[in-house]
Chains A and B, each alone.
Chain A
């Protein structure tokens, strides 16, 4: 199966592990990616906040480039924010002719144009569960994720807003990632906040608002005794993982919840080595969780400092380990 591929900016920086694991599982799953030539940033939520016409034009350039490349019809996007921007622009250009004309007028300044509907925009997980399919994936599992309790975290843009004739899943209680994790041999724990927001850029502009949203998710996953949270979006991963220590400091909590991409979980189940999947790039180490399923070679767990940094108790001699 051949697809256009729009990686988005995060996949070459903060979410390199997502890029590595996506590429590692593509060929075993029979997916062939063709990256969009000279793609640009999708503008995230920032461009739409300041200048809508330019924001649609920015996304429009990507659509125009992808549509003119080698008769591509399907464009796969691993990042949920990029996915929404591309899909929404395509959808709105079809629904609102005025917006389409304005966007195309801007694109014409660069010698480009885009006709709504020329491309089908698809999130990577959609391609994996619906085109490759659960059964085909189950057949390829050589290292079942037995004994792992995983919290399937969807976030927002994969299911909301509902701007498609055939929505991928329920906007408030999706289940496709649950089913995928079960297919890989893991237990998908009940995770009521599975489609709640990670806070997006709030960690930058109003940290306390952002931390609270992250805390709720970590708390909910911990309550359901998850070994890890599994995500489908670079922003969600960054917020829950890289800001977990900030959240712990802010709320005086003690969460230690690894946050991995669904592509990394597929890779592990397919027998690919953790390092090739970018495991080890996460802030909250996933080593303990990964070692549970008996990967070879085992990844060393980080050595715990003798005393926690903010430990205010008096230093005491360490207990000698028996035997």
Chain B
């Protein structure tokens, strides 16, 4: 067996992008991760399957899967994994890669993240009103009509700010973030 094909490139890429992920090759396929996952029933593939697919080099199938986007970051799998694979961190890496490869068809989750961070990059703080109105206008707007009474209720309870707060040294933050993006090559 001299298998030195491109199958391992995907695995290597994930390991490089995720500190501690070299343990991925030791996955036992025990399924503790999927069994511990609160949102596992909504996933295309359980985390266990994803790891088998990664080890088999099935790059496109993995990046098309909804699995990382349905990860709720509860870290149960990571706490319980007998091989101490940083599973949640790997899910974040897969999301990074899926967005860049433009393979994940449903845009809801990626766009929510993008909208969220656009406010952070421009103001240094998150901004719920802007996030909700921009995101809900572009994603299934008809289904989101019940967001209006919800938002009004939030306002009446004094739980929303109508204007975003901007940090003083936004220039410094933007310089840092731009440099980080250059370093990562995006």
Co-assembled chains A and B: yes
Binding site for B on A (CB under 8 A): 9, 12-16, 38-41, 43-54, 56-58, 60-61, 92, 95-96, 98-99, 102-103, 105-112, 156-157, 160-162, 171-172, 196-197, 199-202, 204-206, 208-209, 213, 242, 246, 280-283
**Cβ contact within 8 Å between B126 and A9:** yes
**Cβ contact within 8 Å between B161 and A46:** no
**Cβ contact within 8 Å between A106 and B154:** no
Binding site for A on B (CB under 8 A): 17, 19-20, 38-39, 42, 69-70, 72-76, 78-79, 86, 88, 92-93, 95-96, 99, 108-110, 112-114, 116-117, 120, 124-126, 128, 132, 135, 146, 150, 153-154, 157-161, 165, 167-169, 172-173, 175-181, 183-184, 186
Which of A60, A196, A205, A283 has a CB less than 8 Å from the CB of B69? Answer: A205
How many angstroms between the C-alpha atoms of A15 and B154 in the bound complex? 11
Provide 17 A-B residue pairs closer than 8 Å at the C-beta atoms, listed in order of the A residue.
A9-B126, A13-B161, A14-B128, A15-B159, A41-B120, A41-B124, A50-B117, A51-B117, A53-B184, A57-B179, A58-B180, A95-B19, A106-B177, A106-B183, A197-B38, A242-B150, A280-B157
**Cβ contact within 8 Å between A205 and B112:** yes
Query: Knowing that A41-B125, A49-B92, A161-B79 are A-B contacts, what are 16 other residue pairs whose CB atoms are under 8 Å apart, sorted by A's residue number?
Result: A9-B125, A13-B128, A40-B120, A46-B113, A51-B186, A57-B176, A58-B120, A110-B172, A110-B173, A161-B78, A200-B73, A206-B70, A206-B108, A209-B72, A281-B159, A282-B157
- 10 nearest CB pairs, A to B: A109-B179, A197-B74, A160-B75, A106-B180, A110-B172, A53-B184, A57-B180, A46-B116, A54-B180, A40-B124
Contacts of A103 in B (CB 8 A): 180
How many angstroms between the C-alpha atoms of A112 and B108 in the bound complex? 35
Contacts of A202 in B (CB 8 A): 39, 70, 72
Contacts of B19 in A (CB 8 A): 92, 95-96, 98-99
**Cβ contact within 8 Å between B42 and A209:** yes
How many angstroms between the C-alpha atoms of A14 and B155 in the bound complex? 9
**Cβ contact within 8 Å between B79 and A162:** yes
* Nearest CB in chain B: distance from A17 CB, A: 8
Contacts of A61 in B (CB 8 A): 172-173, 176
How many angstroms between the C-alpha atoms of A281 and B99 in the bound complex? 38
Nearest to B124 among chain A residues (CB) is A40
**Cβ contact within 8 Å between B79 and A171:** yes
How many angstroms between the C-alpha atoms of A202 and B179 in the bound complex? 31
How many angstroms between the C-alpha atoms of A45 and B186 in the bound complex? 19
How many angstroms between the C-alpha atoms of A283 and B78 in the bound complex? 34
Contacts of A283 in B (CB 8 A): 153, 157
* Nearest CB in chain B: distance from A208 CB, A: 8
Contacts of B179 in A (CB 8 A): 57, 105-106, 108-110
Which of A15, A92, A110, A205 has a CB less than 8 Å from the CB of B176? Answer: A110
Contacts of A95 in B (CB 8 A): 19-20
Q: Do A38 and B72 contact each other (CB < 8 Å), given the known contacts A14-B160, A206-B108?
A: no
Q: Do A44 and B116 contact each other (CB < 8 Å), given the known contacts A92-B19, A110-B175?
A: yes
* Nearest CB in chain B: distance from A314 CB, A: 26
How many angstroms between the C-alpha atoms of A196 and B73 in the bound complex? 11
Contacts of A12 in B (CB 8 A): 161, 165
Contacts of B38 in A (CB 8 A): 196-197, 213
Contacts of A112 in B (CB 8 A): 172, 176
How many angstroms between the C-alpha atoms of A47 and B95 in the bound complex? 11
Contacts of A196 in B (CB 8 A): 38, 74
**Cβ contact within 8 Å between A53 and B181:** yes
**Cβ contact within 8 Å between A16 and B172:** no
**Cβ contact within 8 Å between A160 and B157:** no
Contacts of A60 in B (CB 8 A): 176
How many angstroms between the C-alpha atoms of A51 and B146 in the bound complex? 32
How many angstroms between the C-alpha atoms of A320 and B38 in the bound complex? 47
**Cβ contact within 8 Å between B167 and A204:** no
How many angstroms between the C-alpha atoms of A14 and B150 in the bound complex? 12
